[in-house]
């Protein structure tokens, strides 16, 4: 996987279609794709998009702990997988 994880990379290539694409990827069968999409979509949380907030909250129920953990960190809630906040 050569997809970059980073805040700088998430803002540039997106019009309104960018969020849609990320939200779609958050249902990908590959957890790495979901994880990268989650990190990227989190940058849109301050924008108040309900679909974004919903998708991040949904990631708390992801089958993969790594994804749930990342979602919990983003939402600043204890991880449903291990109970940690970091
Ligand atoms: Zn965890």
Cα(57) to centroid(ligand 1), Å: 14
* Amino acid 73: pLDDT: 96
* Amino acid 86: pLDDT: 77
State pTM to two decimals: 0.78
* Amino acid 8: pLDDT: 47
Which residue intervals of 26-80 are DSSP H helices?
Answer: 31-42, 50-58, 65-75
Residue for token digits 């998708």? 55
Low-confidence residues in the chain, pLDDT < 70: 1-17
**What are the structural domains, with CATH classification, of the chain?**
15-75 (1.25.10)
Cα(50) to centroid(ligand 1), Å: 24
Cα(62) to centroid(ligand 1), Å: 11
* Amino acid 26: pLDDT: 97
* Amino acid 85: pLDDT: 84
Cα(4) to centroid(ligand 1), Å: 22
């Amino acid at each position: 996987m050569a997809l970059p994880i980073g805040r700088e990379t998430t803002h540039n290539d997106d019009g309104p279609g960018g969020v849609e694409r990320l939200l779609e990827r958050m249902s990908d069968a590959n957890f790495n794709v979901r994880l990268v999409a989650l990190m990227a979509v989190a940058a849109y949380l301050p924008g108040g998009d309900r679909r974004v907030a919903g998708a991040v909250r949904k990631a708390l129920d992801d089958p993969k702990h790594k994804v749930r953990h990342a979602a919990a960190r983003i939402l600043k809630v204890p991880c449903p997988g291990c109970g940690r906040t970091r």
